Structure 1
Amino acid sequence: MTQPSQSSPEVPDHAYRRLIAKLNHGTSPVAPVTMFSDWWLHLATAPDKQLELAKSAQESVAAWFRFVNAGCPAEESERPISPTKRDHRFAHNGWSSPPFAALEQAFLLAEDWADQATTNVPGLSQDHEKSMRFMMRQMLDAVAPSNFLPTNPEALECTVTEKGANLLRGGATLSHDLRDKLTGANPERPNRVGKDVATAKGQVVYRNHLIELIQYAPTTDTVHPEPVLIVPAWIMKYYILDLSPENSMVQYLTAQGFTVFMISWRNPSEEDASLGMDDYLELGPLAALSEITTITGSPKVHTAGYCLGGTLLSIAAATLARKADTPVASMTLFAAQTDFTEAGELTLFINESQVSFLEDAMAEQGFLEAEQMLGAFQMLRSNDLIWSHMVRAYLLGRPDMPMNDLMAWNADSTRLPARMHSEYLRKMFLQNDLAAGRYQVDGHAVSLRDIRVPVFGVGTETDHIAPWTSVYKIHNLVHADVTFVLTNGGHNAGVISEPGHHHRHYKMHTTRDTDKALSAADWQDAAQRQESSWWLAWSAWLSDLSSKKISPPKMGRKLAEAPGTYVMME
């Protein structure tokens, strides 16, 4: 296996860089300075852009003064600018009256001007443009008037009404949060694994250093001969696909007559620092497929992968496709990317400088802490996940919503081995080796074009981690019929879309291998909208590809009751 590109321990600056990385929680101080310098120098040599920005600033200031002089009228048509539909910071009625209306408009105009200043700067690379626009937004979000008591009408009204009791509650919450942060205490989770979540009946039938393979008990008298293997991401615990009984994908599939197997990944520690992508491939889906065919006697297995697990599954499918008779009957990808050229806002955090500093941060402990990774995800939606939470909890003194099953799963985080994480970032995000046909397994490049089994892809409309247009690129990479679904929701809630859930809809269209390729926009025009859960369509698709039902296969050798032991590892 190829070692990740890391500084040697003998290099004098290795320890120094590791210290900086540790102090900055793995964030490179060089990357933002480089982006800012690039933006500033290009802007400084673009007089036309400077004049355009000066004119825009003048027009914005004039519009703001007219608005204020008119008494800050509440009518939408009288306001210089309006918040976006997704911006709920200024939804309270108090923002429509002076002086708060003036503060809101000044902030939104400044935000709009900052977007203009970081857009279409001659000579600035597209990557740096996106990163600078994101950085500017983050800085402005931190100083939004909604974040501070004196400039937030809702917080002031609440303080007067409750005579400061809200601030006492908020202070207590802040103290509790700081204590947990300093002590490293985990939040209490009301949903207990194996009791409230991950309750599907089954047993661990195989175990190696990286995975436990769970076989779920049948719930129907007959089943399809071809079992289903689900490969979840190892960034989080597997049981997002087996949450509460009413929204468990596992329990839904067994009720439809499928024999279901699930990979449960080990939570790695410092002793696993040297585990790489090849280890996850060999000990993960390849080992699981071999065991499943032995247990069930079926030569073919339907496979499904979620997020990073889907990326690994596609590598496994391409690797096995080189054999005369692949055990893969079909491949389903849930919000999983195989081409990372448009991998969304997460790429703003991933460049050579950042990856290098992450490697230094991981060098001593041997893994990436879950908090370091989750912090990047939170920054993508800082308004919803950071600032709005602080306003609600500390200024308004309102407790967070009770933790539901999805929230409990989200808090049950895992670590990532240093070598694997470095290889993944470099080979996928930085080099895009898989899509380019350069990714190697056992010294040989694998090609997704070798995949000729039917493919079912799922993208979600508001996915910040794996944008659906990026997931859609699987059409251009495989030599197979692709049925693609675009469902409402985000990276997690869009996938957990059980039948009967209100307000669920999706679009679906099948592109045959011999059809003319469709762009993502053309696909949207061709796809048919359905007002229901996409699980129904996927189950029907799997059934059509399966043989006549038979009696359920015997369970494999029992090593432990489901949900197993690896999922319990802290």
Structure 2
Amino acid sequence: MNVPGLKPVQQAVDAVSHSVSGDLQSLASLKVDPETLKTIQSEYLQRATELWNQALTKPEALTVKDRRFAAPEWSQSPASAFTASMYLLNAQTMQRLADSLAGAEKARERVRFAVQQWSAAMSPSNFLALNPEALKKAVETKGESIQHGIQHLLGDIRQGHLSMTDESVFEVGKNVATTPGTVVYENGFFQLIEYTPITDKVHATPFLFVPPCINKYYILDLQPDNSVVRHLLSEGHRVFMVSWVNPDESLAQATWDDYIEHGVIQAIDVTREISGADQINALGFCVGGTMLGVALATLAAKGRKPVASLTLLTSFLDFSHTGILDIFIDESMVRMREMTLGAESPQGGGLMKGGDLAATFAFLRPNDLVWNYVVGNYLKGEMPPAFDLLYWNSDSTNLPGPYYAWYLRNTYLENNLVKPGAVTVCGEPLDLGRLDMPTFIYGSREDHIVPWESAYASTQVVTGPRTFVLGASGHIAGVINPPAKKKRSHWVTGAKVKQLPTDANAWLASADEQPGSWWTAWADWLRDHAGPMVAAPKQAGSRKYPAIEAAPGRYVLRKA
């Protein structure tokens, strides 16, 4: 029977079936070289025998070099030390076996990831009966630690996510996102904040932040001493910020084009109108950088060049190498999202829940972002310490299904953004080669979400003058690194390098390491594109766009 309304569903089912069949064949074809397997088995048995003999003859000599077992209770108990030692041996052996697999690379990566998840979950530290530190605390507190742990577990079940920090300490607008400002525009997609200048004069060219819509904007304005926004204000810039709405069912059918046209492009136009500037400077962070790049290329196709300079922070333009996230993306996964949440779904859309996205990212680092808190919160009954960055990380955001499905297919799956004309955005064939403005590109060296080599790849996509800077640490901590704290270091292009090489590692080999934050290098670069100093505006907004409410505004307060 041919039912027209079921045709897209049938096509999706066929695509999923074909892809799953291919995945199973790839997994089934994986194998370990017999000689390698023999070596791994032999070394495992030898090491296991050594541990057993040591546990019998010199149990006090058992040492476990892993921070999960760093508490003295682990070394003081021979049984616990032996359990931890055998666990580490088993985990290391499983990882060696996974690394030794021959076959399709994506299938190999999936097995490695599965082994990593199993190893992290099966640590004896995660089980009350096997954790001597948690057991000792239960005895010392006469069971109160267990009672508190159960209370924390029930509280996390009610709030829908694992607590990584004491969330009761923070309130948006009270002690995070506190830089004074005014909401001067809003539509169904975002509010635009204009911040109050803190200098008598400001640069004539205003500055617009485009944060990721997958998170709340205030990662860029956490506390006064680590706020990127406040740092720019202190440098004499007139600063605007996009604050994305946390989507509900009213935006369940919103598309990628909607976010580009009614989000990024509208924010650029309103910023220009309020400031009276022909051009502005703009920054995109993470997915916000991808969206900003697409929006500017779309505007360029229409003959418009409203941005004088572009800054991309830990952003993809070229999705050739996406790191660990690639293991989740294949035709079956994307087609399933299109069928259930995308424009082709029976309801024409849906919401990708923020909690699901947050959990996915947390399990990319399971020991640090999952099991560490399971042990502390539930087994020990401790409240995690207050940490503004982790509070922001827990403040998740939904995404419209059609937007999310389009993004997955055209970036992670097919990498269409860097193929001129492969996709049409807002009625224009996309060509990122039209990004010919001066561009500052930043990557974080330990970033597991946007590998720094992929951030560097943007230097080969944009066509204007390019500056690349590499920071230390990860996706977020590397970005939020104020100069006053004098932490970490950063790398800049070597003095003798006349042209950025195509290969990221070739760039790094000749780069110069500088102490401290990358913010200073960026501030120096931005100053050259910010225009002369003029009197700071006495009030926010304009006659066309008057003040609506004080920052941080209503949109950022909406919970997923």
Pairwise TM-score range, normalised by the shorter structure: 0.7 to 0.9
Q: Render the CA deviation track for 1:94-139: whole Å, top value 9, x for unaligned.
A: 44463233322322222222223223433x2111111111012212
Q: Does the CA contact (< 8 Å) of 1:64 and 1:105 recur in 2?
A: no
Moved more, 352-361 or 326-335: 352-361
- Match of 1:333, SS state, is strand
- Match of 1:206, SS state, is strand
Q: Does the CA contact (< 8 Å) of 2:30 and 2:108 recur in 1?
A: no
Find the counterpart in structure 2 of residue 500 from structure 1.
484
Structure 1 position 11, deviation (Å) = 5.5
Structure 1 position 542, deviation (Å) = 0.7
Find the counterpart in structure 2 of residue 555 from structure 1.
540
- Match of 1:485, SS state, is strand
Find the counterpart in structure 1 of residue 28 from structure 2.
40
Structure 1 position 306, deviation (Å) = 0.8
Q: Does the CA contact (< 8 Å) of 2:216 and 2:556 recur in 1?
A: yes
- Distance across 1 between alignment mates of 2:512 and 2:8: 60
Matched ranges for 1:106-121 at <5 A? 106-121=86-101
Matched ranges for 1:20-39 at <5 A? 35=23, 38-39=26-27
- Distance across 2 between alignment mates of 1:34 and 1:89: 38
Q: 1:179 to 1:452 in 2, by over 3 A?
A: closer
- Match of 2:172, SS state, is coil
Find the counterpart in structure 2 of residue 25 from structure 1.
none
Q: 1:440 to 1:142 in 2, by over 3 A?
A: same
Q: Render the CA deviation track for 1:423-463: whole Å, top value 9, x for unaligned.
A: 00000110101122323224443222222211111212222
Structure 1 position 282, deviation (Å) = 0.7
Q: 1:532 to 1:140 in 2, by over 3 A?
A: closer
Find the counterpart in structure 1 of residue 425 from structure 2.
441
Find the counterpart in structure 2 of residue 3 from structure 1.
none
Find the counterpart in structure 2 of residue 226 from structure 1.
205
Find the counterpart in structure 1 of residue 185 from structure 2.
206
Q: Does the CA contact (< 8 Å) of 1:481 and 1:512 recur in 2?
A: no
- Match of 2:499, SS state, is coil
Find the counterpart in structure 2 of residue 278 from structure 1.
257
Matched ranges for 1:167-566 at <5 A? 167-181=146-160, 189-322=168-301, 324=303, 326-362=305-341, 363=345, 366-402=350-386, 404-437=387-420, 438-509=422-493, 515=499, 517-553=501-537, 555-556=540-541, 557-566=546-555
- Distance across 1 between alignment mates of 2:184 and 2:412: 34
Structure 1 position 353, deviation (Å) = 1.7
Q: 1:569 to 1:155 in 2, by over 3 A?
A: closer
Pairing partner for 1:10 from 6, 12, 18: 6
- Distance across 2 between alignment mates of 1:71 and 1:39: 38
Moved more, 28-37 or 103-112: 28-37
Structure 1 position 385, deviation (Å) = 1.6
Q: 1:254 to 1:144 in 2, by over 3 A?
A: same
- Match of 2:137, SS state, is helix
Structure 1 position 421, deviation (Å) = 0.3
Find the counterpart in structure 1 of residue 43 from structure 2.
59
**What one-letter code is carried by the residue in structure 1 that aligns with 2:547?**
K
- Match of 1:63, SS state, is helix
Q: Does the CA contact (< 8 Å) of 1:225 and 1:548 recur in 2?
A: yes
Find the counterpart in structure 1 of residue 121 from structure 2.
142
Unaligned runs of 5+ in 2: none
Q: Render the CA deviation track for 1:5-49: whole Å, top value 9, x for unaligned.
A: xx98636978x98xxxxxxxxxx9998997565333332xx6xx1
**What one-letter code is carried by the residue in structure 1 that aligns with 2:552?**
P
Q: 1:267 to 1:39 in 2, by over 3 A?
A: same
**What one-letter code is carried by the residue in structure 1 that aligns with 2:287?**
L
Matched ranges for 1:83-102 at <5 A? 88-96=67-75, 98-102=78-82
- Match of 1:436, SS state, is coil
- Distance across 2 between alignment mates of 1:250 and 1:461: 23
Q: Render the CA deviation track for 1:321-342: whole Å, top value 9, x for unaligned.
A: 3455612111101111111121
- Distance across 2 between alignment mates of 1:204 and 1:304: 19
Q: Render the CA deviation track for 1:69-89: whole Å, top value 9, x for unaligned.
A: 13376899x98xx75xxx522
- Distance across 1 between alignment mates of 2:219 and 2:279: 25
Q: Does the CA contact (< 8 Å) of 2:204 and 2:277 recur in 1?
A: yes
- Distance across 1 between alignment mates of 2:547 and 2:156: 42
**What one-letter code is carried by the residue in structure 1 that aligns with 2:28?**
W
- Distance across 2 between alignment mates of 1:136 and 1:37: 19
- Distance across 2 between alignment mates of 1:310 and 1:50: 47
Q: 1:222 to 1:12 in 2, by over 3 A?
A: closer
Q: Does the CA contact (< 8 Å) of 1:484 and 1:510 recur in 2?
A: no
Q: Does the CA contact (< 8 Å) of 1:483 and 1:511 recur in 2?
A: no
Unaligned runs of 5+ in 1: 1-6, 18-27
- Match of 1:380, SS state, is coil
Structure 1 position 309, deviation (Å) = 0.5
Q: 1:340 to 1:12 in 2, by over 3 A?
A: closer
- Distance across 2 between alignment mates of 1:284 and 1:52: 54
Structure 1 position 244, deviation (Å) = 1.9
Name the Cα RMSD after superposition: 3.1
**What one-letter code is carried by the residue in structure 1 that aligns with 2:393?**
N
Q: 1:484 to 1:447 in 2, by over 3 A?
A: same
- Distance across 1 between alignment mates of 2:425 and 2:495: 29
Structure 1 position 286, deviation (Å) = 1.2
- Distance across 2 between alignment mates of 1:137 and 1:433: 31
Structure 1 position 373, deviation (Å) = 0.7
Q: Does 1:130 align with 2:115?
A: no
Q: 1:95 to 1:31 in 2, by over 3 A?
A: farther
**What one-letter code is carried by the residue in structure 2 that aligns with 1:526?**
S
TM-score (norm 2): 0.88
- Match of 1:453, SS state, is coil
**What one-letter code is carried by the residue in structure 1 that aligns with 2:364?**
L
Structure 1 position 203, deviation (Å) = 1.7
- Distance across 1 between alignment mates of 2:267 and 2:443: 25
Q: Does 1:568 align with 2:547?
A: no
- Match of 1:71, SS state, is helix
Percentage of matched positions with identical amino acids: 36
- Distance across 2 between alignment mates of 1:358 and 1:232: 24
- Match of 2:440, SS state, is strand
Structure 1 position 308, deviation (Å) = 0.5
Structure 1 position 380, deviation (Å) = 0.4
Q: Does the CA contact (< 8 Å) of 2:213 and 2:288 recur in 1?
A: yes
Number of residue equivalences: 539
Q: Render the CA deviation track for 1:322-369: whole Å, top value 9, x for unaligned.
A: 455612111101111111121121222222222233344435671111
Moved more, 173-182 or 337-346: 173-182
Structure 1 position 163, deviation (Å) = 4.1
Find the counterpart in structure 2 of residue 24 from structure 1.
none
Pairing partner for 2:53 from 69, 73, 76: 69
